[in-house]
Structure 1
Amino acid sequence: MKIAVAGKGGTGKTLVAGGLAYLLARAGYTTLAIDADSAPNLGFLLGLSSRDEGAIVPVSKNEALIAAKTGTAYPGVYSLNFTVDDVVLKYAVPTPAGVHLLVMGTVASMGAGCTCPANSVIRALLRHLIVDRDEAVVLDMEAGVEHLGRGTAEGVDMMLVISDANRQSLAIAGRIARLAQDAGIPHIALIGNRIVDAGQEQVLRGFAKDRELVVTGMIPFDPAVVRAGIDGNSIATLEGSAALCAIGGILSRIDQEIKERLNGRVDTEKHS
């Protein structure tokens, strides 16, 4: 299962990504969380201390790793022929949530044709993680799809776009959905977060209907999430909370949809 999560900063994108990763690991999946946000903080939610989080060197800033993968004997010339299957083993960090974390860091836009060494390593690494490996992967993204090349995007089982009922959040959610469609992500869904009442839910459902987006779930406003943020507590402390229960329901629906797609594919192959 490969799930990408995107949305405007402050809408709860990292909460959803961390909750999904935590619940997948708790269900027995070998789970890798990828923090591809320019302000990475997924590690805190997964239970890492400030010291451990601060010690992580993002892949895009790991000069030794980039040089080892792309370096040549010629100044200004770098190799495009390298493997990345060892990166997870060496650089993914185990967390108290039972999830391994890999921090990507900030890179220039993939869609702009940048061929710098760091971008080349991250592009190859993401493709390897999403297309080639079998474990569950949850990708906490920025408000866009810049980290995903087209072939990689097509390997994502689901792109979840997170938004609250705020007009600015919805505008960015619409932009993300368009970018995801253009990138070739086949399945895109809207998640409403911090929903206070039926009126806010109606706003989000109307937005989704206008843009022909599936709504996979609504997460209620939850004081327990606010308290966890203030106290610096991990996702594990939200067991039994309304928000984490809602994220669990979202995960169940995604799992069911993926299984139905696979069954449909098998049936089609049997009759072809």
Structure 2
Amino acid sequence: MKIAVCGKGGVGKTFIAGSLAWHFASSGHPVIAIDADSSPNLALNLGLSADEASHIVPVAENEELIRMKTGTDFSGVFRLSFTVDDIISRYGVPTPSGANLLVMGTVKAMGAGCTCPAHSVIKALMRHLVVERDEIVILDMEAGIEHLGRGTAEHVDILLAVADANLKSLEIASAICRLAQESDISTIGLVANRIASAQQDAVFRSYAAGHNLPVLGQIPFDQRVADTGMTGEPLDTSASDALNAIRELAERLEKAHAG
């Protein structure tokens, strides 16, 4: 099962992606968590310290790796065919969550059609992870909708467009769903996050119904989550309404994918 978590910046998609990875890994599944955001912080949600996270070299910025995979003896010429299966074992980072983490990083090149070496490695690696691997793969996608135009999330099984009751976040989530419907992704829908009142719930569901968008899950506002985000202290998972809702979402997704 391959799940892409998308949405406007600041709506909590990284928290949801990390919590899904925690749940599946703690349930005994092998999990690869992919941080494909240009401002990566999934490592913290998977239990790594800020110091540990700061020492992770993103794949796109690993010059030695890029050179090993694409280098030739000719200046300005690089290989387009190479293996990437060893990248997970060599550069994946074990985390306290039980999931292995890969940080993709940002390809610093102009144009959506870039064929630079780093872009080629990232594209080949993403396809390998999503199409050829048997693990559960959770992708924390770049904020916004641009990544869909680059095909970053193609071939996943499930796309979760995370939004809160803010109109802008709903509009971006809606645009993500519309673009994703042009792909072969079998399950596409909204996930409501940080819903703190009946009014916010009504706004979210009214928007979803008005735009014919399925609601795959609803995560309530949880002050415990907000507090631990400020302090960095571990979250008491047994007492968190938000994590309980994410567990229910994960179980529904697993059942839907299996059946």
TM-score, normalised via structure 2 length: 0.93
Q: Determine whether 1:238 maps to 2:233.
A: no
How many correspondences in the alignment? 258
Report the alpha carbon displacement of residue 238 of structure 1 after superposing the two structures with TM. Answer: 3.0
The 2-side partners of 1:229 and 1:190 are apart by 24
Task: Provide closer, same or farther for how the CA distance between residues 218 and 21 of structure 1 changes in structure 2, counting only shifts above 3 A.
Answer: same
Q: 1:244 to 1:122 in 2, by over 3 A?
A: same
Matched, 1:153 2:154: yes
Q: Tell me, in whole angstroms, the C-alpha distance in 2 between the residues paired with 1:150 and 1:110.
A: 16
Q: Is the 8 A contact 1:5 1:162 kept in 2?
A: yes
Mapping 1:187-202, distance limit 5 Å: 187-202=187-202
1:259 aligns with 2:255: no
| Cα-to-partner distance string for 1:94-129 (whole Å, 9 max, x where unaligned) | 011111110001136999221111111011001101
Partner of 2:50: 50
Q: Residue type of the partner of 2:145?
A: G
Alpha-carbon deviation of 1:148?
8.0
Q: Which residue of 2 aligns with 1:218?
A: 218
The 8 Å contact of residues 164 and 192 in structure 2, kept in 1 or not, is answered as yes
Structure 1 pair 238–187 and aligned structure 2 pair: CA distance change class (3 A): same
After the TM superposition, which of the residue ranges 207-216 and 41-50 deviates more from structure 2?
A: 207-216
Q: What is the alpha-carbon distance in structure 1 between the residues aligned to residue 194 and residue 122 of structure 2?
A: 32
Moved more, 18-27 or 212-221: 212-221
Give the AA of the match of 2:40. Answer: P
1:79 counterpart = 2:84: no
Shift of 1:72: 0.8
Distance (whole Å) between structure 1 residues aligned to residue 111 and residue 246 of structure 2: 31
1:61 to 1:188, Cα distance in 2 relative to 1, 3 A: same
Structure 1 residue 129 and structure 2 residue 137: aligned? no
Q: Is the 8 A contact 1:110 1:119 kept in 2?
A: no
Instruction: Give the Cα separation in 1 of the matches to 2:175 and 2:13.
Output: 15
Q: Distance in 1 between matches of 2:110 and 2:201?
A: 34
1:250: which partner in 2? 249
The separation in 1 between residues aligned to 2:33 and 2:79, in whole angstroms, is: 28
Distance 1:56 1:158 in 2: 27
Question: Residue by residue, what CA displacement relative to the aligned partner does 1:190-222 show, whole Å, maximum 9, x if unpaired?
Answer: 000110112211211222223222101111110
Percent identity, aligned pairs only, is 51
Q: CA deviation at 1:186?
A: 3.1
In structure 2, what is the Cα distance between the partners aligned to 1:146 and 1:183?
Answer: 13
Report the 3-state secondary structure (helix = DSSP H, G, I; strand = E; otherwise coil) of the residue aligned with 1:194: strand
Q: Deviations over 1:55-93 (max 9, x none)?
A: 000011011111111111111111011000000000010
| Shift in alpha-carbon separation, 1:147–1:108, aligned structure 2, 3 A | farther
For 1:163-208, what per-residue CA distance to the aligned partner results, in whole angstroms no more than 9, with x for missing partners? 0001111121122222322344332110001101122112112222
Q: In 1, Cα distance between the equivalents of 2:109 and 2:59?
A: 16
Q: 2 CA distance for matches of 1:15 and 1:237?
A: 15
Q: CA RMSD in A?
A: 2.0
Tell me the distance in 1 between the aligned counterparts of 2:251 and 2:130. Answer: 20
1:35 touches 1:141 (CA, 8 Å); kept in 2?
Answer: yes
Task: List gaps (5 residues or longer) in structure 1.
Answer: 261-272
- Aligned equivalents of 2:71 and 2:44: distance in 1? 33
What residue number does 2:62 align with?
62
Rounded Cα–Cα distance in structure 1 between residues aligned with 2:137 and 2:125: 13
Give the letter for the 1:34 counterpart: I
Equivalent residue, structure 2, for 1:172:
172
The separation in 2 between residues aligned to 1:153 and 1:111, in whole angstroms, is 19
CA spacing shift, 1:133–1:17, aligned 2, 3 Å: same
Query: 1:33, 1:151 → 2: CA distance?
Result: 15
Aligned to 1:182, the other structure's residue is in SS state coil
Cα distance in 2 for partners of 1:110, 1:137 equals: 28
Deviation at 1:237, TM superposition (A): 3.6
